[in-house]
Amino acid sequence: HIETLAGDLTYALWDTGMTMGCKCDPGYSGADCSGKDCKYGIDPAYVDDDATARVSEQFYEISGGTASGGFPGDAVAGTYAIKFYDVFGEDYVTAPITISTVDTSAGGCSDVVAALEDLPNTVIPTGSVYCSQSQAQTAGVSSGQTYSLTFTGNPGYLKPLTLDTYLDGARETVAPVNTSATSPAKTTVVTYQEGISGEFVDYFAAKCTGVVASIS
């Protein structure tokens, strides 16, 4: 129905549950999805894209919120999924990813990258995601895990990632480890972009050859 096809838009007119249409695969459009969208973004003929293309760097943090005492009382553990949006706005959801802010051997960048690169349609090319992870395990300091993800194989603007910590519906699948604490942890998820964001602009549209520069 049109109310479903509207996606993030709000459509509430009289035909919202009556009119039907096709939901097209990424890259196709039109009433019957027979139209193939023109490619857009970084010009593939531009020979220096790897050095100058603006690609998206995104961050997310999973923590136990403001539980008193910090680590290890604020530890959380379980499984979650990442929703990734390509340049067409199509969303893809990863398989469950393990996390434990008290046991750093569980999950980590290798699991995150593997889950992202396993998404269908090769939406994220193999070997194109750069991941870094940071975490503090000092008494009294938050033990939240922060991940930085750079999508070098997906130039252009990408919508922010979203995380799902309720893989079983109403039951939280990333939950506090110590539920008997006086001020128990509360799973907190934050996603954000910092620094360079992906864009569809070639900042070096022309390239000169045979030019030598010296710095003295």
> Per residue in 57-95, pLDDT tens?
899 999 887 655 666 777 889 999 999 998 878 889 999
DSSP state of 66: T
Residue 88, number of CB atoms within 10 A of its CB:
16
Q: What is the pLDDT of residue 106?
A: 78
For residues 197 and 88, which has the higher predicted lDDT (pLDDT)?
88
DSSP state of 181: S
DSSP state of 5: H
Tell me the mean pLDDT in the region 180-200.
75
- Report the distance separating Cα 206 and Cα 48, nearest Å: 10
Summarised one tens digit per residue, pLDDT across range 92-106 is 999 999 998 887 777
DSSP per-residue string spanning 69-131? TBBTTT-EEEEEEEEEE-TT--EEEPPPEEEESS-TTSB-HHHHHHHHHTSGGGSS-TT-EEE
Q: What is the pLDDT of residue 127?
A: 92
Average predicted confidence (pLDDT) for the chain: 79
**Which of 166, 184, 176, 149 has the alpha carbon at shortest distance from 61?**
149
Backbone angles phi, psi at 167, to 5 degrees: -70, -15
- Report the distance separating Cα 18 and Cα 11, nearest Å: 12
- Report the distance separating Cα 153 and Cα 129, nearest Å: 7
Cis peptide before 160 (omega within 30 of 0): no
Q: What is the pLDDT of residue 195?
A: 65
- Report the distance separating Cα 175 and Cα 33, nearest Å: 42
Q: What is the pLDDT of residue 201?
A: 60
Backbone angles phi, psi at 16, to 5 degrees: -60, -35
Percent of the chain with pLDDT over 70: 73
Summarised one tens digit per residue, pLDDT across range 136-152 is 666 556 678 899 999 88
Q: What is the pLDDT of residue 51?
A: 58
Token pair recorded at residue 114:
């593997």
For residues 60 and 204, which has the higher predicted lDDT (pLDDT)?
60
Tell me the mean pLDDT in the region 166-183.
82
Q: What is the pLDDT of residue 181?
A: 62
The secondary element (H helix, E strand) that includes residue 62 is strand 55-63
Tokens 């290798």 appear where?
110
For the ranges 68-77, 108-117, 200-209, which has the lowest average pLDDT? 200-209
DSSP per-residue string spanning 119-172? SGGGSS-TT-EEEEEEE---BTS---EEEEEEEEEEES--PPPEEE--TBTTB-
Q: Which range has highest mean pLDDT (15-19, 139-143, 168-172, 196-200)?
A: 168-172
